[in-house]
Amino acid sequence: MPVIAPVPAARPARIPDQRDGAEDGLVAGTTVDHLTETYRAHYRSLLGLAALLLDDTASCEDVVQEAFIRVHSARKRVREPEKTLAYLRQTVVNLSRSALRRRILGLKLLSKPMPDMASAEEGAYDQLERDSLIKAMKGLQRRQREVLVLRYFADMTEAQVAETLGISLGSVKAYGSRGIAALRLAMEASA
């Protein structure tokens, strides 16, 4: 247990400044305990979010853990503890984008393209349907894909999606509507 030294009595007490909202000019931020509790409570949903934006389980776990580390190191900037989950989600989305950019660069540098065919064990009807959905999702614009993943997988409201992606509510509605229409056309074409 740490030893806390008493404050000398001769030193006058500082009156908190109205502008900074915290004593001694420090910004409170979210606590480590609150961040850890939020991370543990929402780990699976954050992992699922990363899984829909990426497709490799190991990468998804890395992204979610890296999101925790980054939000932990910047926790003083999370001034409202109830926004901790939003910061984690936004960080997962941003790190997923970065991972995809690295993959695209890696694929461009490969001499031979990777085969798209599923193995014999994965040839069941459900897998084929899932593959066509993933292919259709990859064919969407990046923003459309992000809006659909956040809206329908992460079960976020349109306002939460707008806040997470940093776009307007109208843009969320437009991207969502166009994305669903494009998915419908792509799925009908593959059927």
187 compared with 174, residue with greater pLDDT: 174
Contact between 90 and 53 (Cβ < 8 Å): no
In this structure, is the dihedral angle defined by the CA atoms of residues 93, 95, 96 and 102, taken in order, positive or negative?
positive
Contact between 81 and 34 (Cβ < 8 Å): yes
- Tell me which DSSP letter residue 119 carries: P
Task: Indicate if the pLDDT at residue 175 is higher than 90.
Answer: yes
Note the pLDDT of residue 95: 94
Q: Give mean pLDDT, residues 6-28.
A: 42
Q: What are the E-state strand segments in 48-143?
A: none
Taking residue 34's Cβ as centre, other Cβ atoms within 10 Å add up to: 15
Q: Give mean pLDDT, residues 85-111.
A: 86
- The structural domains of the chain, ordered by start, are 27-111 (1.10.1740), 125-190 (1.10.10.10)
- pTM (predicted TM-score): 0.46
Note the pLDDT of residue 55: 78
